[in-house]
Homo-oligomer: A and B are copies of this chain.
Amino acid sequence: MEEIYADLSFPTRETRPYVLINMVASLDGKVTTGGKAGSIGSSIDRALMRSLRASSDAVMTGAGTLRAEMLNLSVPEELTRRRTALGRKPQPLAVLITHSGDLPLEENLIGASPDNLLILTSTETPEERLATLRSRASVEVSKLDQNSRLDLSDALKTLKQRYSIHTLLVEGGPALNHALVENKLADELFLTLAPKLLGGTGPETLTILKGPPVPARLTKSKLLSVHLSAGDELFLRYALPPALLA
């Protein structure tokens, strides 16, 4: 089971990375328990997450997730070995993305090496915050889009052109996933469906997408593969509209 995503290779796009989203959800669509992700998936799910990390040039997380919970960016030796065997750099570039620059790096981020951490932020980030971020990581500043949010196309273009990121793995949270889908920037969804009913109210109602209805022309996806584990987890891979129309 642990090997099902070991041999993946992905198309190369010209102006941005090929973008994969990886999430685990319960049968009732929940991606957090007690307001945090974490224990929904099994050890096999976590092994497959490492496979996807091994196949990606960079791993991106949204600022909301970092504000909600501890984020461990340390790279286990096994992943380094697998990457080296695949002819890749030992570590995927760790990328945090934030419109406002409000990132609790001291409090919630562990295992991040400044020379392997990139923060994508926007022109809305105050200069003082930028200086703080620059002391901990590389920083790139994107313009705003027509909705006055960080321009994701611009940020992804930077990843491709300045950092040679051809395959980008996004691990949420739901607001970042939604923004990518809505802007036609997410190519594939790796969804683990855990055999659990979680329920929950408030922040626990988060599903893999947080945001307004997705425009009808962007809702459809195509199932690329299904795998079932002995523990009744389903591992689903879907192509999303940008990959379908490419």
Total count of chain A residues near the partner, CB < 8 A: 44
Task: Known A27-B189, A199-B181, A211-B201; judge A232-B228 contact (CB<8 A).
Answer: no
Contact, CB under 8 Å: B205 / A28: no
Q: How far is the CB of A215 from chain B (nearest CB, A)?
A: 9
Which residues of chain B are near A165, meaning CB under 8 Å? none
A200 at the binding interface (Cβ < 8 Å): yes
Across-interface contacts of A240 in B (CB, < 8 A): 197
Taken together as a complex, chains A and B put the C-alpha atoms of A61 and B232 apart, in Å, by: 29
Q: Mark A1-26, 1 if CB is under 8 A from B, else 0.
A: 00000000000000000000000011
A170-188 interface code vs B (CB 8 A; 1 in, 0 out): 0000000010011000000
CB–CB B238/A221 < 8 A: no
| B200 close to A212 (CB less than 8 A) | yes
Chain A, residues 189-213, CB within 8 Å of chain B (1/0): the string is 1010101111111001101111111
Minimum CB–CB distance from A196 to chain B (whole Å) comes to 5
- B226 & A197 in contact (Cβ 8 Å cutoff): no
Complex interface: chain B residues within 8 A of A34 (CB):
213
A166 at the interface (CB under 8 A from B): no
Q: How far is the CA of A225 from the CA of B205 in the complex (A)?
A: 27
What are 5 sample pairs from A and B whose C-beta atoms fall under 8 A apart?
Answer: A28-B208, A29-B207, A189-B197, A199-B214, A226-B226
